[in-house]
Amino acid sequence: MVVRAAVAGASGYAGGELLRLLLAHPGVEVGALTGNSNAGQRLGALQPHLLPLADRVLEPTTAEVLAGHDVVFLALPHGQSAAVAEQLGDATLVVDMGADFRLKDAGEWEKFYGSPHAGTWPYGLPELPGARDALKGSKRIAVPGCYPTAVSLALVPAYVHGLAENDAVIVAATGTSGAGKALKPHLLGSEVMGSMSPYGVGGGHRHTPEMIQNLSAAAGEKVTVSFTPTLAPMARGILATCNVKAKPGVSAESVRAAYEKAYADEPFVHVLPEGQWPATASVYGSNAVQIQVAYDESAQRIVVISAIDNLTKGTAGGAVQSMNIALGLDETTGLSTIGVAP
């Protein structure tokens, strides 16, 4: 069986990465590609690395263009997915790579995104407790944010196993592709190269409520999160440093054992051997997640560090993984755990 997939928003970084993966997926045929401001342009001019699609021309993002596909991926600005999805009907698998259907709490959605809440779809982070079951056979998938992917995979085991106190402190570094292709002065190469800088400090980043939702579900209580994202001089990758107070009785051994057990059967999440630390280069272009844990005895804190590729596991790879589950395919089809390094 080969499914036919359309991609709305094919000119951006998320759309481009998705196409890179779909072209390598044996069960998918790439159908319509749409853009808005770029409709009418050759994909070769916009995504010069996607040579097999260089002569494809972007169509406008309309329901007519997207109709007639088995799967439609939406890589649209937030607030636009609901209208498109409605027109596509229930027989089409719609995978939203934007934020619209991630949050359950309408109030949090409105506070952080400033628009009406569109609803909640099955959440495309299969490694979370219960997530795979919700994805199986689903016709709607909300792909997680890149930071929540890195952070939830790092901290959920600590909360599920009762190792961590509430009150998580998270600092993450992202490559610039996480900010998309928008033409903003601070994203110019001249500004970015050789520089680290924070943004959205103090609780303002939109991915914060999504992290809180995932960690709270794992903990069984509302978890407080203080999240600081930083922009690093690299194109891809997220390195998330997650720091939580340990509950009494926790030891380095019990932390390691919990994580090794949590991810023993996961195809994409690798708890590294002791002494080896995650590096974003190691997961470059791959769907793999590298995780390492440390117990800071002096501070009685657990430090969990995860590395992902923000565009692959953090966006497009996560989308394909969840699509595989929804369609009943092997979850790893078309996805690699091998990074492109050095």
Q: Which residues are catalytic?
A: 146
Site track 93-132 with a copy of itself (rule: CB under 8 A), x = hit: ----------------------------------------
Q: Which position among 241, 315, 322, 324 is part of the footprint of a copy of itself (CB under 8 A)?
A: 241
Query: CA dihedral in degrees (22, 324, 68, 144; nearest 10)?
Result: -80
Least spacing, CB of residue 214 vs a copy of itself, in Å:
16
The rounded distance, in Å, linking the Cα atoms of 67 and 195 is 44
Q: Say if residue 90 is exposed, middle or buried (CB neighbours under 10 Å; 0-12, 13-18, 19+).
A: exposed
Q: How far from the centroid of its chain's Cα atoms is residue 340's Cα?
A: 19
**Stretch of 71-79, 97-105, 303-311, 317-325 contacting a copy of itself, by CB under 8 A:** 303-311
The rounded distance, in Å, linking the Cα atoms of 39 and 54 is 14
Token pair recorded at residue 120: 């909640």
- Residue 333 near a copy of itself by CB under 8 A: no
In this complex, which beta carbon is closest to a copy of itself, that of residue 82 or of residue 302?
Answer: 302
Q: Which of residues 133-192 bind a copy of itself (CB under 8 A)?
A: 167, 169, 171, 173, 175-177, 179, 181, 183-185, 187-192
Give the 3-state secondary structure of residue 193. Answer: coil
Least spacing, CB of residue 32 vs a copy of itself, in Å:
19
- Residue 248 near a copy of itself by CB under 8 A: no
Q: Which of residues 261-290 bind a copy of itself (CB under 8 A)?
A: 270, 272-273, 276-286, 288, 290
The rounded distance, in Å, linking the Cα atoms of 127 and 271 is 13
Q: Which of residues 18-47 bind a copy of itself (CB under 8 A)?
A: 20, 23-24, 42, 44-45, 47
Site track 193-232 with a copy of itself (rule: CB under 8 A), x = hit: xxxxxxx-xxx----x---------------xxx-x-x-x
The rounded distance, in Å, linking the Cα atoms of 186 and 34 is 28
Q: Say if residue 335 is exposed, middle or buried (CB neighbours under 10 Å; 0-12, 13-18, 19+).
A: buried
The rounded distance, in Å, linking the Cα atoms of 40 and 32 is 13
